[in-house]
Homo-oligomer: A and B are copies of this chain.
Amino acid sequence: MGARLRPPRPRSATIRDVARSAGVSPATASRVLSASRHPVSERGRRRVLAAARRLGYIPNLLARSLLTRETAAIGVLVPDVSNPYYAGVLRGIEDAAGPARRTVILCNTDRDPAKLRWYLRALMERRVDGLVVAGGSFGRAETAITGGALPVVMIGRGPARLPSVRVDNVAAGAMATRHLLELGHRRIACLAGPAVSTTAADRVAGYRRALREAGLSAADEVVLEAGFTPTGVFALVDRLFARAPAPTALVAPNDLVAVAVVRALHEQGRRVPGDVSVVGFDDIPVASYVVPALTTVAVPTVALGRAAVEALLGLLAGRPAAPVVLPCELRVRESTSTLVEGRGSS
C-alpha cells in the first residue's frame, strides 16, 4: 500500500473522476480538458465537458507542471511595493502577465541581500518559468544561484550579461539638472538616493555631467545622500541651507523626497519656486496635484514593467532579448522657475 495521508483538505474531483463520470478514459478526458491538439470525437468532447462542469472539476496545475516542466508563473523581486515607483512597475508587470495567462509571485526584498537570496531560492523551488528583478543588488552571487537555468529580465541596470529593461538614468539626471541650468541656476544641490541603488548613482552621474557641460567645476557639486524615502530629509535640508552660499535649486532623488523637500523649505520660510527650485523624478500619481505641482522627469514605470514581462515571454519562446531603453520625459510644472537676479549671484 502506498502513501495514505490524512488529507488536510478535501480532495477535489480529478480528471479520473471526470473520465469515469463521462464514460471515457482519463486520456480522452485529458485531451479535451487540456486543449490538446489530439483529435477527439464531438460526442466525447461534449460528454467530458458536461461531466467536468457537473463535478466542478478544477485542473491541478501542480500535476500538470510536474510533467510539462512549465508553471506559467513568473517571480517578481522588488525592493518595496509600497513605494509608488515599484507599485507602478508591478502594475505593468501584472498587466502584461495576465493576458499571457501567467501568474505573478511577488517578493519584497527590502534591498536586503539575504532576503533576496532566500526568495530567489523559494522561487526556484516553485520552478517559476522566469524572473523579473527590479531594484538592483542582483549580482554575481545571485546569478550563480539561478545557475543560468532561469530566464531573468532586469528592470534597471544589473549584471551586464542579463537582459534588461530600463531608462537612461544618467540622461534623466542630466535632463533635470540642465533644466535648472537653463533657468539660470548655478548653485544646484543634488540629493542622492541610497548608495546601493544604481538608479540613484546614475542620476547623480547625470547631474555631474550636466554641471560639467555647463562649465562648472567639481567644486560646484553639492551631493548629499538622502535615500528614496522622506526619512531624514528635513535635517538634510536644514544642513544644506545652513551653509553659505545656499543653493538656489535642488535635484531630489525622486518625487516622494521632492515633496518632502518642498515642505521642509516651506517650513524654513523659503518659497518654491520663488526662492528655491526643486525637481524630482518618476512623476508619481500625486506629483501633478500637489501645490506647487512638481516639475519632474517622468519615468514610465508601468511601461517598464510591461516591457520586462514581454521580454521575458520572448525569452521563454526562444527569442533572444535585446536590451530595452525607454525614454524619460521632463515635465515642467510649478516647482521650478527662472533664477531671480540678485539672489542667485555669489
Listed stretches A123-131, A166-174, A176-184; interface member: A123-131
Q: Which of B10, B68, B81, B101 contacts A149 (CB 8 A)?
A: B10
Does A80 touch B at the CB level, under 8 Å? yes
> Is B66 in contact with A124, judged by CB distance below 8 angstroms?
no
> Is A105 in contact with B108, judged by CB distance below 8 angstroms?
no
Most buried by B among A69, A81, A121, A124: A81
- For A93-116 the 0/1 string (1 means CB < 8 A from B) is 011001001011111100000010
Does A82 touch B at the CB level, under 8 Å? yes
Does A311 touch B at the CB level, under 8 Å? no
CB-CB under 8 A from A229, the residues of chain B are 285
Does A88 touch B at the CB level, under 8 Å? yes
Range of interface residues on A (Cβ < 8 Å) = 35 or more
> Is B291 in contact with A69, judged by CB distance below 8 angstroms?
no
- For A13-51 the 0/1 string (1 means CB < 8 A from B) is 000000000000000000000000000000000000000
CB-CB under 8 A from A126, the residues of chain B are 61-62, 73, 103
Listed from nearest, the 8 A-B pairs whose CB atoms lie closest are A82-B91, A61-B125, A106-B106, A260-B289, A87-B87, A82-B87, A94-B108, A259-B289
Residue numbers of A with Cβ under 8 A of B are 3, 5, 7-12, 56, 58-63, 65-71, 73, 76, 80-84, 87-88, 90-91, 94-95, 98, 101, 103-108, 115, 119, 121-127, 147, 149, 229-230, 256, 259-260, 262-263, 266, 285-286, 289-291, 293, 302
What are 24 A-B pairs with beta-carbon distances under 8 A? A5-B67, A5-B68, A8-B70, A10-B149, A58-B121, A61-B127, A62-B65, A62-B71, A62-B126, A62-B127, A73-B126, A76-B106, A81-B87, A81-B90, A87-B87, A94-B107, A94-B108, A95-B108, A103-B107, A230-B285, A230-B289, A262-B291, A263-B289, A286-B286
